[in-house]
C-alpha cells in the first residue's frame, strides 16, 4: 500500500494536466497529473477544492434541530445525514431501543434513499461509460446517449429513482427537508393509503432491480480483463454488519477486513469509532485521509461503500440479493475483489436488497403502527453511524445542559474512500497515460475510476481554519525556495520540509 | 382540479442567497391560496434538479424554474428554455432545467411544456448565512415578476414577457446560454 505517484520529486520540471470539476461527481473535485518530458506520469492527485464549515454550522444549535438541519449539508444524501444525526441524538435523549414502528419507518426511509441513490448512479452517471466504452465519443457518453440507444434502461432509471423518492416522501413527510425522524423515534406514521400506494409498485421495482444486476453482471462477464483490473487498489475494507454478521445499512457493529479478507476487527461498538479510526491531514487536500489507528497511515487506509459491504458481510438477509452476492463471491474466486468497477456490480446487488427490504417492510404490520417515540434519561453525548449509499457515515455530537450542541464531528462516506480514490486514479494513470499523448478519452479513464466510488464531495470537507494549506515556491530545477502553510489553528507559518 | 402549471424552486435554504427560490416558492404558496388559485399550480422545492423531476412535467401545460443566480443580471432574468441534449450530460448529481426537459423528451417521447426560468441574482452562498441585503431587494423585484406571471399563467404571454428586456441594475446583460445561472445546479 505505497504512496507511489502521490508526490513527484521535482514537480517544477513537469507538465501539468488538470481535470477541473470532475464530471459526473458531486461537488468540486480536481485531479492534477504531472508528466515529465517523456509523458511519463510522475504525480497524480485528486484534490478537493472547496470546503464548507459544516461542523461549525451545527455547533451552538439546539440538538433537536440537528436532524433537520443536517439535511442541508448535502442535497445528494440528506436522508443519510437525517438518520445518522437522529441515531446519535437517540442516545442524548436516553433511548437505547426505538419502538418497532419507529425503527421500521426509519429503515424504510433509509432503504428508499439507498434505492434511489444507487439507481441514479448506475443508470445515469455510470451507465454511459459502461454501455458505450470509456473512450467512446464524448458527446454520446451521457444520459441522452443512453436514452437513445437503451430507452428502456433510461426509463427504468427514472422510475426507480422516483419510487425511492416516494418512499422518502411517505416516511419523512416531504421529498426534501423532511422532519420524519426525531431524537427518540419518528413523528410521522405511515398511513394505510401510503402503504398501499407503495405496495402497488414494489414488485415491479424488485424486478427491475434484479434486471439491473443481470445487466452489470453481463458487462463484467463480457470483458473480465477490463472489469477485474481497471484501477485496482488493494486495501482494507470497513462497514457496519448486523448482529448476525448480515448486511445491514441501518444499524450494527463495525467490521474491518484486510486486503485478503482476514478480519482486522469485528463487533466494534460504533460509539468507540474514535479509538479505531484516525484522520490524516495532507497539505494538498482539504479532505482528510482516514486510517485504522492500529495499522498506521501507510497500511491502515480502507475502502467503504458497496464493494466493501457486499464482501464484508456474511450474508444478505433477502433471498434474491443473497443469491447474487454468492454469485459475485464465486465469480471473484472466493477472494476479495478490489476492482473499482466491481463497485457497480455490488451497488446493484445492494439496490436489489434495498428493494426486497422495502417490500418486506411494507408487508410488516408494524410499519403502520402508532407508537412512534420513546424517551429516557438525558445524556450529553451521542454517536450515530449508518451505511449511507456511498459508505459508512459517522455523526458524533456533544450537548450541554442547555441542549446546545458543543461539539460536532462528521466523517462522511466519501472521506473514508479518499485514499482509495487517489490510489485508483494513480493506477489508471500508470496503465493508460504513461508515455502517451493525452486525449479526452484517456482523461475520462481517470474520471471513470473516480465515479466507481460515487463520491459526493460536497459534504466531505471540513471547516475553515482546520485545514492546513501549503503554498510552495520551486525554482526551475525543482528546488524549494520558500514555503508557507496555514496550520490547523488558522495561523500561518513555514511549511515543514 | 389537477394542476396545469408546475413551479420548481431550487436551492438550499441554509446557504445564504441560495434560499431565494425556496423563499419565493413559500410566498407563492400563500399567495395562491389567498387568491384561490392553489389547485392550478404544483409547487416543487428541491436542493437541485434531477432526472425524476421530468416526471413532474407530465400533464402540465407550463413550467417555471426559479433559482438563485451567481454573476447573473440583477435583479433577475426571465427567459424561455427548451430541451438541450448537452445539458442532460449529468455532469454531477444534478441537472440544469434544460437537462430536465431533455430527459422528459426522451422519457415521454413528447415535447415538454413551454418552460421558463426566473433567475434571481444572489451574492453570497455561504453555509449558515441568511439572505444578503442585495438579494433581499432582488427577491422583492422577483416577487413582483412572479405574481405577474402566476396571475396570468399563459405560455404566449410569458413568452412575450421573456422577450421584453428586463431592467438591470449593476451588471451588463449576460449570455444566459453560457452562464452557470444557479449555484444549486
**Section B35-56 average pLDDT:** 90
Residues A220 and A126 in one domain: yes
Residues A70 and A194 in one domain: yes
Q: Could you tell me the residue range of the domain that residue B115 belongs to?
A: 5-178
> In this structure, is residue B184 part of a structural domain?
no
Cβ contacts of A128 on chain B, cutoff 8 Å? 90
Residue among B51, B91, B127 minimizing CB distance to A158: B51
Cβ contacts of A57 on chain B, cutoff 8 Å? 14, 127-128
Nearest to A46 by CA among A422, A413, A298: A422
Question: Mutual orientation of helices A319-331 and A342-362 as an angle, nearest 10°?
Answer: 160
- Chain B contact residues (CB < 8 Å to A): 12-15, 44-48, 50-52, 54-55, 85-86, 88-94, 102-103, 106-107, 127-128, 184
For residue A56, is pLDDT > 90?
no
| A75-124 pLDDT tens trace | 678 899 999 999 999 999 999 999 999 999 999 999 999 999 999 889 88
CATH of the domain at B10: 3.40.50.1450
CB-CB under 8 Å, B128 with A125: no
CB-CB under 8 Å, B12 with A57: no
As for how many domains chain A has, the answer is 4
Decide which of A375, A390, A411 is a domain's last residue.
A411
Nearest to A134 by CA among A343, A417, A447: A447
Task: Note the pTM of the prediction, 2 decimals.
Answer: 0.86
For an interface test with A, the pick among B42, B51, B85, B125 (most A C-beta atoms closer than 10 Å) comes out as B51
| Comparison of pLDDT for B182 and A47, the residue scoring more | A47
CATH of the domain at A77: 1.10.645.10
**pLDDT given at position A176:** 72
Residues A285 and A386 in one domain: no
Residues A296 and A363 in one domain: no
Q: Could you tell me the residue range of the domain that residue A243 belongs to?
A: 237-324+331-336
For residue A484, is pLDDT > 50?
no
Residue among A24, A157, A456 minimizing CB distance to B91: A24
Query: pLDDT-derived band of residue A23, with 50, 70 and 90 as boundaries?
Result: very low
**pLDDT given at position A140:** 66
Distance CA B76, CA B74 (A): 5
Residues A424 and A406 in one domain: no
Cβ contacts of A154 on chain B, cutoff 8 Å? 106-107
Task: Let me know: does A75 contact A120? Beta carbons within 8 Å.
Answer: no
Distance CA A286, CA A328 (A): 35
**Section B168-182 average pLDDT:** 34
As for how many domains chain B has, the answer is 1
CB-CB under 8 Å, B47 with A120: no
Query: pLDDT-derived band of residue B91, with 50, 70 and 90 as boundaries?
Result: very low
CB-CB under 8 Å, A124 with B127: no
Please state whether A412 falls in left (phi above 0), alpha (psi between -120 and 50) or beta: beta
CB-CB under 8 Å, A144 with B88: yes
Count the Cβ atoms, other than its own, within 10 Å of residue A479. Answer: 10
> In this structure, is residue B183 part of a structural domain?
no
% pLDDT > 90, chain B: 56
Burial of A16 (0-12, 13-18, 19+ CB in 10 A): exposed
Decide which of A369, A389, A411 is a domain's last residue.
A411
**pLDDT given at position A33:** 78
Residues A217 and A341 in one domain: yes
Decide which of A296, A311, A336 is a domain's last residue.
A336
Cβ contacts of A144 on chain B, cutoff 8 Å? 85, 88-89, 102, 106
SS3 B142: helix
Residues A377 and A480 in one domain: no
Cβ contacts of B86 on chain A, cutoff 8 Å? 139, 142
**Section A178-200 average pLDDT:** 95
Task: Let me know: does A396 contact A88? Beta carbons within 8 Å.
Answer: yes
Of the listed ranges A129-138, A198-207, A307-316, the least confidently predicted one is: A129-138
Residues A258 and A278 in one domain: yes
**pLDDT given at position B171:** 37
Residues A68 and A209 in one domain: yes
Cell numbers given for B64: 417555471
Residue among B52, B102, B106 minimizing CB distance to A165: B52
Cβ contacts of A165 on chain B, cutoff 8 Å? 52
**Section A474-496 average pLDDT:** 43
Residues A450 and A369 in one domain: no
SS3 B181: coil
Count the Cβ atoms, other than its own, within 10 Å of residue A31. Answer: 22
Residues A76 and A180 in one domain: yes
Amino acid at each position: 500500500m505505497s504512496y507511489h505517484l502521490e508526490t513527484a520529486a521535482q514537480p517544477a520540471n513537469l507538465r501539468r494536466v488538470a481535470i477541473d470539476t470532475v464530471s459526473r461527481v458531486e461537488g468540486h473535485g480536481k485531479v492534477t497529473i504531472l508528466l515529465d518530458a517523456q509523458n511519463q506520469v510522475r504525480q497524480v492527485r485528486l484534490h478537493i477544492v472547496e470546503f464548507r464549515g459544516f461542523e461549525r454550522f451545527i455547533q451552538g444549535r439546539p440538538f433537536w434541530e440537528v436532524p433537520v438541519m443536517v439535511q442541508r449539508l448535502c442535497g445528494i444524501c440528506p436522508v443519510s445525514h437525517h438518520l445518522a444525526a437522529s441515531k446519535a441524538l437517540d442516545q442524548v435523549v436516553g433511548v437505547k431501543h426505538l419502538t418497532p414502528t419507529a425503527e421500521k419507518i426509519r429503515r424504510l426511509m433509509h432503504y428508499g434513499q439507498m434505492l434511489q441513490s444507487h439507481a441514479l448512479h448506475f443508470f445515469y452517471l455510470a451507465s454511459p461509460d459502461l454501455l458505450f466504452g470509456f473512450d467512446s465519443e464524448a458527446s454520446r457518453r451521457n444520459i441522452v446517449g443512453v436514452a437513445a440507444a437503451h430507452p428502456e434502461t433510461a426509463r427504468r432509471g427514472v422510475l426507480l429513482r422516483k419510487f425511492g423518492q416516494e418512499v422518502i416522501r411517505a416516511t419523512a413527510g416531504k421529498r426534501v427537508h423532511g422532519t420524519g425522524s426525531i431524537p427518540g423515534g419518528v413523528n410521522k406514521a405511515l398511513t394505510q393509503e401510503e402503504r398501499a400506494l407503495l405496495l402497488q409498485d414494489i414488485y415491479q421495482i424488485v424486478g427491475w432491480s434484479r434486471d439491473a444486476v443481470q445487466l452489470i453482471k453481463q458487462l463484467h462477464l463480457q470483458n473480465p480483463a477490463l472489469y477485474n483490473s481497471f484501477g485496482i487498489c488493494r486495501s482494507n475494507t470497513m462497514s457496519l454488519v448486523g448482529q448476525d454478521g448480515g448486511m445491514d445499512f441501518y444499524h450494527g457493529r463495525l467490521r474491518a477486513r484486510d486486503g485478503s479478507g482476514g478480519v482486522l476487527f469485528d463487533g466494534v461498538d460504533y460509539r468507540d469509532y474514535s479509538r479505531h479510526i484516525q484522520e490524516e491531514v495532507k497539505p494538498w487536500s482539504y479532505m482528510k485521509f482516514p486510517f485504522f489507528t492500529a495499522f498506521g497511515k501507510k497500511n491502515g487506509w480502507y475502502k467503504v461503500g458497496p464493494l466493501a459491504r457486499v464482501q464484508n458481510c456474511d450474508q444478505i438477509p433477502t433471498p434474491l440479493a443473497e443469491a447474487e452476492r454468492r454469485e459475485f463471491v464465486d465469480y471473484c474466486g472466493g477472494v476479495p475483489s478490489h476492482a473499482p468497477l466491481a463497485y457497480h456490480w455490488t451497488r446493484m446487488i445492494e439496490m436489489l436488497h434495498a428493494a426486497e427490504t422495502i417490500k418486506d417492510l411494507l408487508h410488516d404490520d408494524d410499519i403502520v403502527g402508532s407508537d412512534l417515540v420513546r424517551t429516557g434519561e438525558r445524556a450529553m453525548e451521542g454517536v450515530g453511524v449508518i451505511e449511507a449509499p456511498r459508505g459508512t457515515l459517522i455523526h458524533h455530537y456533544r450537548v450541554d445542559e442547555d441542549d446546545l450542541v458543543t461539539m460536532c464531528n462528521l466523517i462522511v462516506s466519501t472521506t473514508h474512500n479518499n485514499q482509495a480514490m487517489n490510489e485508483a486514479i494513480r493506477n489508471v494513470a500508470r496503465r493508460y497515460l504513461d508515455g502517451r499523448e493525452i486525449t479526452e478519452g484517456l482523461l475520462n479513464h481517470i474520471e471513470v475510476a473516480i465515479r466507481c466510488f460515487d463520491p459526493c464531495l460536497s459534504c466531505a470537507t471540513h471547516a475553515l481554519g482546520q485545514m492546513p494549506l501549503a503554498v510552495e515556491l520551486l525554482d526551475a530545477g525543482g528546488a524549494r525556495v520558500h514555503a508557507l502553510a496555514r496550520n490547523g489553528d488558522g495561523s500561518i507559518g513555514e511549511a515543514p520540509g | 382540479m389537477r394542476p396545469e402549471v408546475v413551479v420548481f424552486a431550487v436551492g438550499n435554504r441554509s446557504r445564504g442567497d441560495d434560499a431565494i427560490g425556496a423563499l419565493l416558492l413559500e410566498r407563492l404558496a400563500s399567495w395562491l391560496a389567498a387568491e384561490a388559485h392553489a389547485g392550478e399550480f404544483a409547487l416543487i422545492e428541491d436542493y437541485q434538479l434531477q432526472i425524476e423531476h421530468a416526471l413532474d412535467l407530465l400533464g402540465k401545460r407550463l413550467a417555471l424554474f426559479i433559482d438563485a443566480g451567481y454573476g447573473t443580471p440583477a435583479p433577475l432574468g426571465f427567459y424561455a428554455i427548451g430541451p438541450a441534449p448537452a445539458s442532460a450530460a449529468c455532469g454531477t448529481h444534478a441537472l440544469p432545467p434544460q437537462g430536465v426537459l431533455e430527459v422528459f423528451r426522451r422519457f415521454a417521447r413528447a415535447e415538454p411544456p413551454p418552460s421558463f426560468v426566473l433567475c434571481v441574482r444572489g451574492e453570497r452562498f455561504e453555509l449558515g448565512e441568511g439572505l444578503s441585503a442585495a438579494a433581499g431587494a432582488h427577491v422583492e423585484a422577483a416577487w413582483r415578476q412572479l405574481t405577474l406571471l402566476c396571475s396570468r399563467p399563459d405560455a404566449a404571454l410569458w413568452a412575450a414577457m421573456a422577450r421584453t428586456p428586463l431592467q438591470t441594475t449593476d451588471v451588463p446583460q449576460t449570455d444566459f446560454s453560457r452562464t452557470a445561472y444557479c449555484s444549486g445546479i
